[in-house]
Amino acid sequence: MAATVRLPTVLRPAAGGATTLTVEGATIGEVLISLTTNYPAMRGQLLNDDGTLHRFLNVYVNDDDVRYLGGVDAPVGDADEITLLPAVAGGSLG
Amino acid sequence: MLYLSARQREAMIATCVRALPDEGCGLLVGRGERVEDVVASPNVAASARVYEIDSRVLLATDRRCEREGSDLMGVFHSHTHSEAYPSPTDVAQAPDPAWHYVLVSLRDAITVVRSYRIVEGRVDEEEVVVERAADGPETGTERRLA
Cβ contact, residue pair B59, A65, below 8 Å: yes
pLDDT of residue A16: 95
DSSP A40-69: GGGTTTSB-TTSSBPTTEEEEETTEEGGGT
Q: Kindly report the CATH number that applies to the domain delimited by B2-144.
A: 3.40.140.10
Radius of gyration of chain A (CA): 13
CB contact under 8 A, A89 and B51: yes
Q: What is the pLDDT at residue A91?
A: 84
Segment B20-54, tens digit of pLDDT: 999 999 999 999 999 999 999 999 999 999 999 99
Q: Is the pLDDT of residue B104 over 90?
A: yes
For chain A, list residues with pLDDT below 70. 94
Instruction: Calculate how close chain B gets to A65, using CA atoms only, in Å.
Output: 7
**pLDDT average, residue stretch B100-111:** 96
Sorted by where each begins, the domain ranges of chain B are 2-144
CA atoms within 13 A on the CB side of A56: 15
Domain range annotation of chain A: 2-86
| CATH level 2 (architecture), domain A2-86 | Roll (3.10)
Q: Interface pTM (ipTM) of the complex?
A: 0.89
pLDDT at B146: 42
